Structure 1
Amino acid sequence: MIELVIVARLLEYPDAALWQHQQELFDALASSEKLAKAESQKLAVFLRDLTTQDLLDAQATYSELFDRGRATSLLLFEHVHGESRDRGQAMVDLMAQYEQHGLQLDSRELPDHLPLYLEYLGQLSEREAIGGLQDIAPILALLSARLSQRDSRYAVLFDVLLTLASTDIDSDKVAEKIATEARDDTPQALDAVWEEEQVKFFADQACGESEISAHQRRFAGAVAPQYLEISNGGQH
């Protein structure tokens, strides 16, 4: 599904290549057979608004949004496992899926980075790609709600992904969950996380690392219960 590759590109860190090749994306959106006209227009407006900005301003906005705090992180397992040691095995399992489909990562890429996962899904059959979207739909819904709460235009990308996933999400439960969340991207919150991680680092150095369990799990099975409960299901 080329639509997933387009969204993946729009979710990546903005670079000069996006500005230079934006017309190709506009053309791909105009010829999309999977997106409704309204969804295609939403993505086109997002792309237009993004590329009318100065590149450095767009990059600064992106970093402020996705690289500060964990609530809007584009690392999927950040929302599933946090700092749990299960995250390491989940990374290995997902990387194995990529390799089975001929997708090779370089040393700078983490396999759970959402744009990369979307690029992977874009290589699969439509049924498999939609199934992969449904697996992460609860996370996409929370990210969409958090970004909307911050008045970010990026929320529309997640709304389009949820539309493509064709699955039901309990919006009331999503709203209930984020209503009580404290912002984690403030200077005070970031300092608290840094101090906590320093304590954890020294504790691990003293106690040693335990072996990560070797069980295999699908992406959907790895989603924590608090994320699954906001989904009403979806067939794939």
Structure 2
Amino acid sequence: MNRSHAFQLASLLLTYPDEELLAAGDELRAAAAGVDEFERFVEWLLTGTLTEAQRHYVQTFDLRRRSGLYLTYYLHGDTRKRGMALLMLKQRYRAHGLRLSDGELPDLLPIVLEFAATVGPGDGEAPLRQHRQGIELLRSALHEARTPYALILDVVCALLPQLTDDDRAALMSLAFDGPPVETVGLDEVGLGPTLAPYSEVCG
């Protein structure tokens, strides 16, 4: 499976599950073929009911304070720096002809993955590399929660550059301290989930 296909499938599987997604079971199995993590996740997704899948998704990403899908929040918290990071992401998307729907924040992981799949290595994958630390924290939180969604993050992280010593030091700091806190100047950009300090960071 090439990088673009992997990012595209990860983006799809990280979106809120609906009837259309589960009805495409054969297509999902075919798309996941050859990647053990994707295959296992798809089988889990298709085993239960739509209601069960939707409930699990909400409990995992919307109700758990440590596994939100908004990447800039992991690094910047509710600060003005987050507003600038969101603006820069929007400008990058626009430069490649991508327009977001009203109310969509550009740092939502499925959108970032879709951009990487569409634009490709280099500029397309730059936001993933820039938010490598946040993605790793999310992966750690999903593993800690023992959710099958961790399998998707395992694939994504395997395609990204390995963590450096500086990355690991920054991750440990975020694990203990959590993201910065400052609400001034964020009224217009929206807020992400509230993160509690992380107890551990998976490598």
TM-score normalised over the length of structure 1: 0.67
Q: Residues 174 and 144 (structure 1 numbering): CA distance in 2 closer, same or farther, change over 3 Å?
A: farther
Identity %: 30
Quote the residue 1:45 is aligned against: 40
Q: Summarize the Cα distance change of 1:14–1:131 in structure 2 as closer, same or farther, 3 Å threshold.
A: same
- Aligned partner of 1:85 in structure 2 is 80
Among 15, 24, 42, the residue aligned to 2:18 = 15
Matches within 5 A, 1:26-65: 26-30=29-33, 37=34, 40-65=35-60
Which amino acid in structure 2 is aligned with residue 2 of structure 1?
H
Q: 1:175 to 1:85 in 2, by over 3 A?
A: closer
Aligned twin of 2:196 = none
Count matched residues.
183
- Distance across 1 between alignment mates of 2:171 and 2:85: 28
Q: Quick one: distance in 2 between partners of 1:128 and 1:57?
A: 37
User: Which is worse superposed, 171-180 or 117-126?
Assistant: 171-180
Give, in angstroms, the shift of residue 127 of structure 1. Answer: 4.2
- Report deviation, 1:21: 1.6
Determine the C-alpha separation between the residues in 2 that align with 1:86 and 1:150: 29
Equivalents in 2 of 1:64, 1:15: separation in Å? 16
3-state DSSP of counterpart to 2:45: helix
What's the secondary structure of 1:27's corresponding residue? Answer: helix
Any conservation in 2 of the 1:141–1:174 contact (CA below 8 Å)? no
Gaps of 5+ in 1: 31-36, 183-195, 213-229
CA shift at 1:78, angstroms?
A: 1.4
Secondary structure of the residue that 1:57 maps to in structure 2? helix
Q: How much has 1:9 moved relative to structure 2?
A: 0.7
The answer to whether 1:148 aligns with 2:151 is no
Higher relative contact order (Cα pairs below 8 Å, separated by 6+ residues): 2
> Could you tell me which amino acid in structure 1 is paired with residue 32 of structure 2?
L
| Matches of 2:100 and 2:73, distance apart in 1 | 19
Partner of 1:4: 7
Tell me: CA distance 1:149–1:175, structure 2 relative to 1, closer, same or farther (3 Å).
farther
